Chain A
Amino acid sequence: DTAVSQTPKYLVTQMGNDKSIKCEQNLGHDTMYWYKQDSKKFLKIMFSYNNKELIINETVPNRFSPKSPDKAHLNLHINSLELGDSAVYFCASSPRLAGGPKTQYFGPGTRLLVL
């Protein structure tokens, strides 16, 4: 029954590795997002996908790449992990209702620790 789910919940890895975080939503939403929350709890949007099309890409290193196999999934792949990538990553989704608030629904977060 979980609306937005992320796996894994925790991820500990070495510098230089490549890792992926998966996100799935069962709400039928058209738009999905990835956020990074650093140690100071500042929330920064990284990407959003609308019907498989990237519509936002903030100043994120190209080591980060979102991959959306279908409308219900938006996975985050990270190459050559760096210490500064340690953070909590949140997936979110929102409906594409015209004129609506497009309230975002968040996943539980993935805590990434790069050693």
Chain B
Amino acid sequence: AQTVTQSQPEMSVQEAETVTLSCTYDTSESDYYLFWYKQPPSRQMILVIRQEAYKQQNATENRFSVNFQKAAKSFSLKISDSQLGDAAMYFCAYRIVNTGSNQFYFGTGTSLTVIP
């Protein structure tokens, strides 16, 4: 079964500090893509960052970076210099490459609070 687990339902971070959100997944496939989506109170889903499983180098997007450990099937998101606007629900997701299905598998989300 394809599953994504986010073990932290809620996290908080002080403004300007760094926080790491964890994500693990379960798949027997070797080729896939990983994503982090952000959902602010407006409820819109926004792509934060993505990682190709075949790449060893961790993806980075400004203050957002990932720690991708393929053997451990772990894909954590690090937010540096946290800002108030980072407060949101964060969803981890992945998609298998070699399949006719375009299905994405989402975790249950981590709610991030940023403390001023």
The answer to whether A and B assemble together is: yes
Q: Does A34 contact B (CB under 8 A)?
A: no
Query: What distance in Å separates the Cβ of A90 from its nearest Cβ neighbour in chain B?
Result: 6
Contacts of B33 in A (CB 8 A): 101-103
Interface residues as binary, B85-116 with A (CB distance below 8 Å gives 1, 0 otherwise): 00001010001010011111010110100000
Query: What distance in Å separates the Cβ of A102 from its nearest Cβ neighbour in chain B?
Result: 6
Contact status of A99 and B97, CB under 8 A, knowing A42-B108, A111-B43: yes
Picked from A48, A106, A107, the residue with its CB within 8 Å of the CB of B102 is: A48
- In the complex, the chain B residue whose C-beta lies closest to that of A94 is B102
State the main secondary structure of chain B at its contact with A. strand
Contacts of B16 in A (CB 8 A): none
Contacts of A42 in B (CB 8 A): 108-109
Q: Does A25 contact B (CB under 8 A)?
A: no
Whether A101 and B52, one on each chain, are in contact in the complex, defined by CB atoms closer than 8 angstroms, is yes
Closest 4 CB pairs of A and B: A106-B45, A101-B33, A43-B106, A109-B43
11 contacts between A and B (CB under 8 A): A42-B109, A43-B106, A55-B100, A56-B103, A90-B45, A101-B50, A102-B33, A102-B95, A108-B42, A108-B44, A109-B44
